């Protein structure tokens, strides 16, 4: 009887005491592809503070997820994964009294490759950017766009208007909160608005019964006149305002002019358009009936208020020059003041 009692006492000593349970756990840090994942064991024996009877004697890691616990036996282990995604990682612990437990966790390795496309356009339209970034892992991606003109955006798929034409080097920076960070450049071509050049078969100041041919010079994808014509040249038989739009590479330019009938009237008839290109047609700015109101002072200014022409006896001879040089294609502003103290003012455009 005494021998049996001693055997029971010995067996009780080597078996785990009630409440002394092996707890297996570990921590890891989330990294980007190419980074080092750090693993730390948190294994312990519960309820050992008063009468410790058991202890952990070995640890074994399965860092490759192949079911073999042969990738390390330290409390802290490091590993670098060659592919992104979730990796199955296990930790097994063994105690002095024979308790053994294992735990597996899915450990993420994030991957980020920034990529985008851009639909180039002209300064009249927004450039549309499409984000095509490849993401594996954390979906909380932040973006920083640098549009190459000093402006930025944090939108995923932004649109941007450029003030001037040119080639802009756009960069998109993509990042994860865990530290994945990469950027990609992309050139964006922005086309300028086409500048239209018009040609005329005769002056835009006409006599009754005259005809006038107006033509768009250059090559464009399409033409659209205010008369609904789509040809490069239109025939004009009556006075009025005419305009044309020319489209090229999704951009369009626009020009317009007045056709005036040359009839004597109660006040000067002032042309708002002339083409001093030396072709013999419409080369000079015309003011009709001015002789009926002489003397008249004629002054012309540019958009900055600088006087570019002046005459007290205008003879329809101004060819759009200033200080011996031809002025640029633009809109200028005239003031005509005659003896009757009536002032006629408006604008005149130079197109060559």
* Average of per-residue pLDDT values in the chain: 85
Give the per-residue pLDDT at 16.
43
Give the per-residue pLDDT at 14.
36
- Inside any domain, residue 9: no
Give the per-residue pLDDT at 340.
65
Q: Are residues 95 and 131 in the same domain?
A: no
What gap in Å lies between CA 58 and CA 17, rounded to an integer? 20
The DSSP string of 266-291 is SS-EE-SEE--SSSSSS-S--EETGG
Average pLDDT over residues 182-198: 87
Average pLDDT over residues 306-317: 94
- Inside any domain, residue 6: no
Give yes or no for residue 305 having a pLDDT over 60.
Answer: yes
What gap in Å lies between CA 56 and CA 264, rounded to an integer? 115
Q: Are residues 204 and 314 in the same domain?
A: yes
Give the per-residue pLDDT at 309.
96
Give the per-residue pLDDT at 211.
85
In CATH, what number is assigned to the domain containing residue 160? 2.60.40.10
Average pLDDT over residues 9-35: 68
pLDDT class of 15 with cuts at 50, 70, 90: very low
The domain tally of the chain equals: 3
Q: Are residues 340 and 245 in the same domain?
A: yes
Domain edge (last residue) among 109, 141, 162: 109
Give the per-residue pLDDT at 48.
55
Q: Are residues 105 and 152 in the same domain?
A: no
Average pLDDT over residues 44-53: 67
- Between 68-82, 93-107, 169-183, 314-328, the lowest mean confidence (pLDDT) is in 169-183
Q: Are residues 305 and 258 in the same domain?
A: yes
Give yes or no for residue 82 having a pLDDT over 50.
Answer: yes
- Inside any domain, residue 4: no
pLDDT class of 7 with cuts at 50, 70, 90: very low
Q: Are residues 166 and 95 in the same domain?
A: no
pLDDT class of 19 with cuts at 50, 70, 90: low
Range(s) of the domain holding residue 170:
114-190
Pairwise pLDDT comparison (167 vs 208), residue with the higher score: 167
Domain edge (last residue) among 170, 190, 210: 190
Do 243 and 226 form a contact (C-beta atoms < 8 A)?
yes
Give yes or no for residue 18 having a pLDDT over 60.
Answer: no
Angle at 317 between CA 311 and CA 319, to 5 degrees: 105
* Distance from chain centroid for Cα 21: 60
What gap in Å lies between CA 239 and CA 221, rounded to an integer? 28
Residue 299 CB burial class (10 angstroms; 0-12, 13-18, ≥19): middle
Structure tokens at 257: 């002019």
Give the per-residue pLDDT at 13.
34
- Between 83-87, 119-123, 270-274, 347-351, the lowest mean confidence (pLDDT) is in 119-123
Give the per-residue pLDDT at 23.
93
Give the per-residue pLDDT at 264.
54
Give the per-residue pLDDT at 4.
33
**What digits encode the pLDDT tens for the residues 87-141?**
999 999 999 888 999 999 999 888 888 889 988 778 888 899 999 988 876 567 8
Domain edge (last residue) among 94, 109, 124: 109
What gap in Å lies between CA 202 and CA 282, rounded to an integer? 6
Neighbours of 168 (CB within 10 A): 20
Give the per-residue pLDDT at 144.
92
pLDDT class of 1 with cuts at 50, 70, 90: very low
Give the per-residue pLDDT at 139.
66
């Amino acid at each position: 009887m005494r021998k049996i009692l001693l055997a029971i006492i010995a067996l009780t000593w080597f078996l785990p005491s009630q409440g002394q349970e092996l707890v297996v756990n570990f921590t890891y840090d989330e990294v980007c592809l190419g980074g080092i994942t750090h693993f730390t064991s948190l294994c312990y024996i519960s309820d050992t503070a008063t009468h410790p009877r058991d202890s952990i004697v070995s640890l074994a890691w399965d860092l490759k997820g192949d079911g073999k616990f042969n990738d390390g036996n330290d409390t802290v282990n490091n590993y670098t994964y060659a592919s992104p995604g979730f990796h199955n990682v296990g930790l097994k612990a063994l105690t002095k009294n024979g308790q053994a437990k294992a735990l597996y966790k899915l450990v993420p390795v994030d991957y980020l490759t920034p990529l985008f496309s851009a639909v180039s356009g002209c300064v009249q339209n927004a450039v549309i950017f499409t984000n095509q970034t490849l993401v594996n892992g954390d979906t909380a991606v932040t973006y920083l766009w640098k549009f190459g003109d000093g402006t930025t955006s944090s939108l995923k798929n932004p649109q941007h208007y450029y003030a001037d034409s040119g080639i802009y080097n756009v960069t998109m920076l993509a990042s994860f909160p865990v530290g994945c960070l990469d950027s990609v450049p992309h050139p964006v071509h922005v086309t300028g608005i086409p500048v239209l050049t018009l040609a005329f078969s005769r002056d835009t100041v006409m006599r009754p019964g005259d005809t006038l041919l107006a033509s768009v010079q250059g090559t464009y994808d399409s033409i659209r006149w205010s008369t609904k014509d789509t040809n490069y040249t239109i025939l004009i038989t009556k006075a009025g305002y005419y305009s044309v739009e020319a489209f090229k590479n999704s951009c369009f330019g626009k020009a317009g002019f007045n056709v005036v009938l040359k009839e004597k009237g109660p006040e000067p008839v002032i042309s708002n358009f002339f083409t001093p290109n030396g072709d013999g047609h419409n080369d000079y700015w015309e003011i009709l009936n001015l002789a009926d109101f002489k003397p008249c002072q004629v002054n012309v200014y540019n958009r900055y208020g600088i006087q570019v022409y002046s005459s007290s006896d205008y003879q329809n001879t101004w060819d759009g020059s200033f200080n011996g040089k031809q002025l640029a294609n633009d809109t200028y502003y005239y003031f005509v003041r005659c003896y009757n103290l009536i002032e006629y003012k408006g604008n005149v455009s130079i197109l060559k």
